[in-house]
Amino acid sequence: MIHVCTVHHRDDRWLRPQLEYLDRCLPLGGWKLYVSFDFTTRYDLTKNHPGIIVGLKQRILSYRPHHHRKLNKLAQAALSQAESGDSILFCDSDAFPVASIDHLVELLPRVKMVAVQRLEHKCEKPHNCFTLVDSDFWREIDGTWSIKHFDNFWCRAKKTGMPWIPLRRTAGTSLHPVFFSVYGGVAYHHGAGSRSPILWKTTRDMSVVERQCYMKRNKIISDLVFNNIVEGRGFWDGLDELNEKKLGDHEAVGVLASD
């Protein structure tokens, strides 16, 4: 059994595509979803879905660190239901499998973790946008996504040579180095699907105008990719056309935003 833990923040627009891909890529009757909503999210899509067994609703005052706390609560709920040999899949609201992960599940518990590794974002540690672990292992280490505790765990894991499989970026668009990516050929992560589409590390030296232009550019791409996903087209269909319009230009971004 795969126990999927995910936090939906601000709105529920990602819930439908996430459920569709979970249904498509995980074994029929072989998974359960533990989902956390904030106070603005509707429950319409979850009421009659057989995969959802736990729905936590708690007001979020800010995205961090509440995201990690909510993931931890969902993990506790999953562990209370999990039997020995079950798996736990942590994924962001805008992340989901795009192919079967049966072959990855079979590697557990010989490897302790299968997770996205965002080297393109200069981050070598496992990222909780898509992480698969053995439930016995997560219980044994008293697993947590709290930043300080997870960083300490990761330092110990590196020293002891913990066996794990990193999922690295295998597909995406040249229009963004991090967002809108497929990892290991099995996991899609949209990036910033429920917040402003910006990476502060890459924009902190920009002027206000440059930062606004960058955000508007990312929003245009984000909306196009999201619509492609919802309508069943190729994720990056139409991005070549956007690239030809030189999205880096302030004037071009203004025109695109008004289209």
Confidence (pLDDT) at 53: 53
Token pair, residue 36, equals 């956390």
CATH code, residues 2-168: 3.90.550.10
Q: In the chain, list all ranges with CATH 3.90.550.10.
A: 2-168
Residues 188-197: pLDDT tens digits? 999 876 766 6
CA distances from 228 to 183, 234, 240, 254 (A): 18, 6, 14, 22
Strand pairing partners for 127?
116
Task: Give the pLDDT score at 212.
Answer: 76
| 82/214 Cα distance (integer angstroms) | 43
Q: Which residues pair with 33 in a beta bridge?
A: 4, 52
Q: Which of 62-66, 216-220, 251-255 has the lowest mean pLDDT?
A: 251-255
Among 44, 163, 64, 57, CA closest to 115: 163
Q: Give the span between the Cα atoms of 232 and 229, in whole angstroms.
A: 5
Q: What tens digit of pLDDT does each residue of 139-169 get?
A: 999 999 988 888 888 888 988 889 999 999 9
Confidence of residue 221 (pLDDT cuts 50, 70, 90): confident
pLDDT of amino acid 61: 42
**Does 68 have pLDDT greater than 80?**
yes
pLDDT in tens, 19-48: 999 999 998 888 998 988 765 555 555 555
The percent of residues in the chain predicted with pLDDT above 70, rounded, is 76
Q: What percent of the chain has pLDDT over 90?
A: 37
Q: CB–CB of 62/10 below 8 Å?
A: no
Query: 208-230 and 15-25 helices cross at what angle (nearest 10)?
Result: 50
Check whether 175 has a pLDDT greater than 60. Answer: yes
Q: What is the pTM of this model?
A: 0.83
What does the pLDDT average to over 12-23?
89
Q: Which of 108-112, 114-118, 206-210 shows the lowest per-residue confidence on average (mean pLDDT)?
A: 206-210
